[in-house]
A and B are shown apart, each in its own frame.
Chain A
Amino acid sequence: MSTGSLGGTILRRLVLGLPTLAGVIVVSFILTRLLPGDPAVYFAGAAPTAEAIAELRKTLLLDHSLWDQFVAYLVQLARGDLGRSLVTGQPVVKDLSLRFPATLELTGTALALALSVAVPLGIAGALRKGRAIDHICRIVSTMALSMPAFFTGLLLVFVFYYLLGLAPAPLGRVDPMAFPLPDRTGFILMDAILAWDWSNFRDGLAHLVLPAFALALAGIGPLTRVTRGAMLAVLTSDFIRAARSYDMPRWRLVYVYALRNAMLPVLTTSGFVFSFLISANVVVEKVFSWPGIGSYALEALVASDYAAVQGFVLAVATLYVLINIAIDILYGIVDVRVRLAG
């Protein structure tokens, strides 16, 4: 259990993730060159001047061979230059750095919420199979799978904002009238804590609750099912039967023996659920006017803002690779066989 091997694992996984990232970069490059028209115009942003376009043509080496263009493209990427957005006129990188934390805060909270509901529920359902809690577990997971995130969001707004008046209006991350927060991390809750600003913290939290819950419900469906299924499978396995024959105390049997083994399929599903939540983000951001990358991508697609779309694709692909690496590492921590096999 040396940390050396853990560091090595991380490095190895990062290296393994590079081909996927490379593939995405290549594909996005090809796409921008396949589009009709002058790529320089697309990347120059809104209402570019003729000089700006000429400048960009030189930087992107558009008058040279395709290979030179690709190298120039890579150089651009390395410098962190993803072009300018047509819609906002800003550099895409700046747009993303503003929007990304908003989505991450929302998705992260939603995933944490989903796991904290789905895993205990799935375990309870598996342990008391056929009893009341199991039926509740199955009903909840099936309902959650059948409800689109946009509908859940609207229902929540109707009940908690319109009927009960408990939640703030679905108009974004904070009350537009509130004192602005110093922007340090981009995460409202984190920034509020850092600035000891409790009213802003409460306000940010109040705005976060409903959309996080709507998004979480989308994740609860698959996660509950997988947890319950995995627990059921493990509970009927040979080594659990053997452990029972050694009179192992129930808490150790369930939590140390059964649960740890059942967590493996749950981990792999979490990766899929995260990707699914990123997708569902788009509709939830629309319902709650959340200024995240989902709505950014939507506006970009509609306006044919290629620089923004490409930036979005690269950002999401990178996030995806990193999440998968994290899951692989977690998997290796839980299951020794994977770790030792590299």
Chain B
Amino acid sequence: MALTAALQDGFRRDPLTAVTAGFILAVCVLALIGPALTAYDPLATDPANALMPPTWLRPCGTDQVGRDICARIVYATRLDLFIAVSAVVIALVIGSLIGSLAGFFGGWVDRIAMWVTDTIMAFPLFLLAMGIVAALGSSVENIIYATAIVNVPFYARTVRAEINQRRDAGFVEAARVSGNGPFRVLAFHLFPTTVPQLAVQMTLTMGWAMLNAAALSFIGLGIRPPTPEWGIMVAEGASFIITGEWWVALFPGLALVLVVLSLNLLGDGLRDMIDPRERR
């Protein structure tokens, strides 16, 4: 298929992107099967062994109630990935819907859609997410909804711009003339052309969604302890930084940074691949 061939070609030319793609894949695998492989129970407390520095047996050490940090990080991978992916997918679906309709039909549909997205964007997005979670209550679903809502304007605008750009193109006219109703033209002919651009934006916003969810948990509005999640783990470890037990906060934070960094690099690499104006 043309897409896989293009991807392979792109990866060959840009090994860094290939490496980051591989890393992300590895993280996903870890999220899926990791919990089955960990030696320690992430929720098992062991006060006698609290705040142990990293050793070969326990590469990340233990936290203030003796839980193994490595195991918690592995379990948290699943949760954080799930939140980020769900939020992005929901935002993508709703945003694409709004953006497609706005970009294709224009007029008052466009005006209303833009008014909604502008209202959301008028406020600092993280604060908005904070407000939503505070109002709805702390739970995984609510974090996902809050993160999704603040990401919708971004996707809506991207899709709207792409559809708008191609609205009067020849192939659209051709599709219309061959008897397709406007919704069919939009769904099956116009929208697929926006997919490459959307794929790039998806990887980029997934990183941001992950940071968002972690930050919400860090300030106490998100996931509640003892559920392992990178944000809370850093929050729990924060008070131990000034007493020197650095591993409690560092390892979960490092895990978060590495995954987000890979997502950003992958997004950049994909963008370079599909941007035809790039010259070496």
Residues of A within 8 A of B (CB): 20, 23-24, 142-143, 145-151, 154-155, 157-158, 161-162, 169-170, 275-276, 278-280, 282-283, 286-287, 297-298, 301-302, 309, 313, 316-317, 320
Task: State the Cβ distance, B280 to closest chain A Cβ, in Å.
Answer: 9
B249 contacts A by Cβ under 8 Å: yes
B221 contacts A by Cβ under 8 Å: yes
When A154-B241, A162-B241, A298-B219 are in contact, do A147 and B130 touch as well, CB less than 8 Å?
A: no
Residues of B within 8 A of A20 (CB): 122
When A283-B215, A320-B123 are in contact, do A142 and B265 touch as well, CB less than 8 Å?
A: yes
Contact present for A170 and B242 (CB under 8 Å): yes
Residues of A within 8 A of B265 (CB): 142
Contact present for B130 and A282 (CB under 8 Å): yes
B214 contacts A by Cβ under 8 Å: yes
Residues of A within 8 A of B253 (CB): 148, 151, 154-155
When A162-B241, A170-B242, A301-B131 are in contact, do A316 and B124 touch as well, CB less than 8 Å?
A: yes
Give which listed residue, A23, A146, A154, A275, contacts B261 with CB less than 8 A.
A146
* Residue of A whose beta carbon sits closest to that of B135: A301
**25 A/B residue pairs, CB under 8 Å, sorted by A:** A23-B119, A23-B122, A145-B264, A146-B207, A146-B261, A148-B253, A148-B256, A151-B234, A151-B256, A154-B249, A157-B241, A158-B246, A275-B124, A276-B124, A278-B124, A278-B127, A279-B125, A279-B126, A280-B126, A282-B127, A283-B215, A287-B238, A297-B127, A298-B130, A313-B123
Band of interface residues on B: 35 or more
Bound Cα distance from A282 to B235, whole angstroms: 13
* Residue of A whose beta carbon sits closest to that of B263: A146
Contact present for A142 and B261 (CB under 8 Å): yes
Bound Cα distance from A316 to B256, whole angstroms: 29
Contact with A along B238-280 (1 / 0, CB 8 A): 1001101010011001001100110011001000000000000
Bound Cα distance from A286 to B221, whole angstroms: 13
Task: State the Cβ distance, A267 to closest chain B Cβ, in Å.
Answer: 18
Give which listed residue, B214, B215, B241, contacts A158 with CB less than 8 A.
B241
Residues of B within 8 A of A (CB): 119, 122-127, 130-131, 134, 207, 211, 214-215, 218-221, 234-235, 237-238, 241-242, 244, 246, 249-250, 253, 256-257, 260-261, 264-265, 268
Residues of A within 8 A of B250 (CB): 155, 158
Residues of B within 8 A of A157 (CB): 241-242
Task: State the Cβ distance, A268 to closest chain B Cβ, in Å.
Answer: 13
Residues of B within 8 A of A151 (CB): 234, 249, 253, 256-257
Contact present for A302 and B238 (CB under 8 Å): no
Task: State the Cβ distance, B200 to closest chain A Cβ, in Å.
Answer: 14
Contact present for B127 and A142 (CB under 8 Å): no
Bound Cα distance from A287 to B130, whole angstroms: 17
Bound Cα distance from A320 to B242, whole angstroms: 35
Residue of A275, A278, A309 with most chain B CB atoms under a 10 A cut-off: A275
* Residue of A whose beta carbon sits closest to that of B252: A151
Task: State the Cβ distance, A298 to closest chain B Cβ, in Å.
Answer: 6
7 closest A-B pairs by CB: A279-B126, A301-B134, A146-B261, A151-B253, A279-B124, A146-B260, A275-B124
